[in-house]
Amino acid sequence: MSSSIARHPSTHNDPHWKLRADLAAAFRWAVRMNWHEGVSNHFSAVVDDDGGKRFLMNRDQIHFSRVSASNLLLLDADDPDVMDGPDAPDPTAWALHGSIHRRVPHARVAIHLHSKYATVLACLQDSRMPAIDQNAAMFHDRVIIDEHYGGLALDEEGERCAALFTDPKKKVMVMGNHGVMVIGDTVADALNRTYFFERAAENLITAYMTQRPLRVLSDEIAAKTAAEVESYPGQAARHLAEIKLILDKTEPDYAT
Ligand SMILES: [Zn+2]
């Protein structure tokens, strides 16, 4: 990274300000949803439109509820010296998100969580998501399952996980024995997908707990439902817009 990149812009003249505010809103909402995990877990968003690989990400060990537009780091996935600076990011986050943004051009935004129900799903011997309801059907043939957890996501593990995002249609990765990684085109897209995946996992795990037989939709109906949801207009953008309106009233410092 060139030292001229401002990691902590102090004014709204920053060209990435809207993206910063959107990403900060996603962190704050993750707290409301109880998806946060101590001072761990990271979200990232690519700022470049021209093939550049600079991305925003939360700082090392800052609670999600204190992330704001101005305290997000701006990092360059192609910069080998990122971990040498005074504001170096968490090494596992750098390995995982840096690898994704270096290798996966369709991952404009990446949300990594150890949210409760997605993580429980990741702990089952069979981490597939049968289409037992509309939320689960949304993810029909759209999920990668990684069954080869290899410890903390340091260099090789980050590269290994990133290399699994080969099919642009599959934007959720259940990280076996670990958590979930959700990618998307925009913050709104990735956050909305995260929301529905966690809800789908919650419903599935709750259904498993009843120990009653499941009513699983046919592959044909699940595929049709997934395609219909994907082409449903504007829901992700509207979801984030509503979240920001709520945050504007209740914790407006997210956008400072
Ligand atoms: Zn993790």
Domains, the chain, ranges and CATH?
19-255 (3.40.225.10)
Task: Look at residue 135 in the predicted model and tell me its pLDDT.
Answer: 98
Task: Look at residue 85 in the predicted model and tell me its pLDDT.
Answer: 85
Q: What is the mean pLDDT of residues 14-34?
A: 97
Residue 5 has pLDDT above 80, yes or no: no
> Could you report how far apart the first and last alpha carbons of the chain are, in Å?
24
Neighbours of ion ligand 1 (CB under 5 A): 179
**Among residues of the chain, what percentage have pLDDT more than 70?**
95
Residue 7 has pLDDT above 60, yes or no: no
How many Å lie between the centroid of ligand 1 and the Cα of residue 37?
9
How many Å lie between the centroid of ligand 1 and the Cα of residue 114?
6
Q: Which helix (H) or strand (E) holds 74?
A: strand 73-76
Q: What is the mean pLDDT of residues 183-206?
A: 98
Say which residue the tokens 């995982």 belong to. 96
Q: How far apart are CA 152 and CA 133, in angstroms?
A: 33
How many Å lie between the centroid of ligand 1 and the Cα of residue 148?
14
User: Residues 28-74: pLDDT tens digits?
Assistant: 999 999 999 999 999 999 999 988 899 999 999 999 999 999 999 99
Q: Comparing 86 with 2, which gets the higher pLDDT?
A: 86
How many Å lie between the centroid of ligand 1 and the Cα of residue 231?
30
Query: What's the whole-number average pLDDT of the chain?
Result: 94
How many Å lie between the centroid of ligand 1 and the Cα of residue 110?
12
Task: Look at residue 2 in the predicted model and tell me its pLDDT.
Answer: 41
How many Å lie between the centroid of ligand 1 and the Cα of residue 190?
17
